[in-house]
Amino acid sequence: MANLLSYVLFLVLRTYAAPPEYIQVWPGGSTPAPGDLDNETVTPSLVPPPGTSKHKPHSIIIGVRKGGTRALLEMLDIHPEVAAAATEVHFFDWDENYAKGFEWYREQMPYSYPNQITVEKTPGYFTSPVAPARIHAMNSSIRLLLILRDPTERVISDYTQVFFNRLENHKPVQAIENMLVKNGALNTRYKAIQRSLYDVHMRNWLQHFPLEQIHIVDGDTLIHDPLPELQRVERFLDLPPRIVASNFYFNQTKGFYCIRNDGHERCLHESKGRPHPPVNSTVLRQLRLYLRQHNRNFYRLIGRTFNWQ
Ligand SMILES: *[C@@H]1O[C@H](CO)[C@@H](O)[C@H](O)[C@H]1NC(C)=O
Ligand SMILES: *[C@@H]1O[C@H](CO)[C@@H](O)[C@H](O)[C@H]1NC(C)=O
Ligand SMILES: *[C@@H]1O[C@H](CO)[C@@H](O)[C@H](O)[C@H]1NC(C)=O
Ligand SMILES: *[C@@H]1O[C@H](CO)[C@@H](O)[C@H](O)[C@H]1NC(C)=O
């Protein structure tokens, strides 16, 4: 009986526990991690803060997977006029979510004040064949953010993430060379390589959106010098300049930038910036060579070049 009672109590408490989006719009605009708040602070947010409501996103970070989408969203969230969705919604790329409709999508968004814009990120959108048309159907004038990095590095990073996920789930893992090479030739059907064909995916987006509506963030630059990239994003989204140099500090131990905002300091999850495995140099050269032509096509599509090898 006592067990049953405490279980019911647990359920009740769980139902009323503040989901992360309530915390998002805490006055002051900062987004402290749930652990930063003591229980007393969380309790009043059983109801959404007065004057807030949920809106479909004004801007979406569409990708690319392993490009730095989390870092970009967290850094953009420093801005007091940005309300960032806590999780990847996968609305436009997963049929079972899309079938739930736009009202369901809006419900997934954080509460925001009237002066805030809502931003969602799902890296799977960029490589989804159906996402561009679906986003266009929701809002044809939406502004899209795309963060990219060297596509060869991205392949290795993609592999590394899957490698560690499989390790954690006690599944068998393969050396990266076994994924990249099949029957002595580059395995161009390997998903990690497919996702790095930026020209192929971009062409699909440009069928539905003009280039001016897609702002590309240089993910390699963002990691080494975040402020200028964030300032470009502020301008693209017509946000007043609020993000400043003191919002970032370099963590020597981690080897990358952390965020300081309203007295809170936070760094990205440990899995970000994980070291990559060494890759057989012959295979690596094959991969670079294959991606080089795709990169050139991509530069032509967007009228801009990057220092990708
Ligand atoms: C806050 O709540 C957690 C569980 O939800 C509990 O373990 C912790 O002791 C509480 N802290 C305070 C200060 O009440
Ligand atoms: C569509 O997106 C634009 C750009 O963010 C925004 O100004 C506009 O209000 C949005 N329209 C709707 C219906 O949400
Ligand atoms: C820097 O990173 C290390 C290692 O992840 C972490 O333990 C430490 O708390 C961080 N320091 C600051 C000031 O963010
Ligand atoms: C790299 O792979 C190639 C085959 O693709 C092999 O011939 C070569 O010996 C490997 N190099 C090293 C250093 O393992």
Cα separation, 79 vs 30, in Å, equals 8
Amino acid 256: pLDDT: 83
Whether 149 has a binding-site annotation, put simply, is: yes
Q: Which residue has the higher pLDDT, 107 or 36?
A: 107
Cα separation, 44 vs 210, in Å, equals 44
Closest-CA residue to 205 (of 141, 304, 136): 136
Q: Which residue has the higher pLDDT, 268 or 102?
A: 102
Ligand 1 binding residues, C-beta < 6 A: 38-39
How far does residue 158's CA lie from ligand 4's centre (Å)?
22
| Tens digit of each residue's pLDDT (9 = 90 or more) over 50-97 | 999 999 999 999 999 999 999 999 999 999 999 999 999 999 999 999
Amino acid 1: pLDDT: 40
How far does residue 40's CA lie from ligand 1's centre (Å)?
9
Q: How confident is the model at residue 255 (pLDDT cuts 50, 70, 90)?
A: confident
φ, ψ for residue 54, nearest 5 deg: -105, 140
0.85 exceeded by pTM: no
Provide the β-strand partners of residue 147.
217
| Tens digit of each residue's pLDDT (9 = 90 or more) over 96-141 | 999 999 999 999 999 999 999 999 999 999 999 999 999 999 999 9
Cα separation, 236 vs 226, in Å, equals 16
Report whether pLDDT(234) > 70: yes
What CA–CA distances, in Å, run from 293 to 77, 302, 304? 35, 15, 15
CA dihedral 72, 76, 77, 80 (to 10 degrees): 180
- Residue identified by tokens 């997963």 is 94
- Name the catalytic one among 54, 56, 66, 171: 66
How far does residue 213's CA lie from ligand 3's centre (Å)?
37
Whether 100 has a binding-site annotation, put simply, is: no
Give the closest residue (by CA) to ligand 1 atom 7.
Answer: 39
Report whether pLDDT(13) > 50: no
Mean pLDDT check: name the lowest of 33-47, 175-189, 205-219: 33-47
Report whether pLDDT(16) > 60: no
Ligand 3 binding residues, C-beta < 6 A: 251, 253-254, 258, 265, 267
Whether 68 has a binding-site annotation, put simply, is: yes
Q: Which residues contact 287 (CB under 8 A, 6 or more apart)?
A: 152, 155, 180, 186, 193
Q: Where are the domains of the chain?
A: 2-47, 53-302
Q: Is 66 a catalytic residue?
A: yes
Amino acid 217: pLDDT: 98
Ligand 1 pocket test, candidate residues 10, 11, 12, 39, most atoms within 8 A of CB: 39
| Tens digit of each residue's pLDDT (9 = 90 or more) over 273-291 | 677 889 999 999 999 999 9
Q: How confident is the model at residue 152 (pLDDT cuts 50, 70, 90)?
A: very high
Mean pLDDT check: name the lowest of 154-163, 180-189, 247-256: 247-256
The single-letter code of the amino acid at 304 is R
Specify the fold of 53-302: Rossmann fold (3.40.50)
Amino acid 20: pLDDT: 38
Ligand 2 binding residues, C-beta < 6 A: 56, 58-59, 139, 141-143
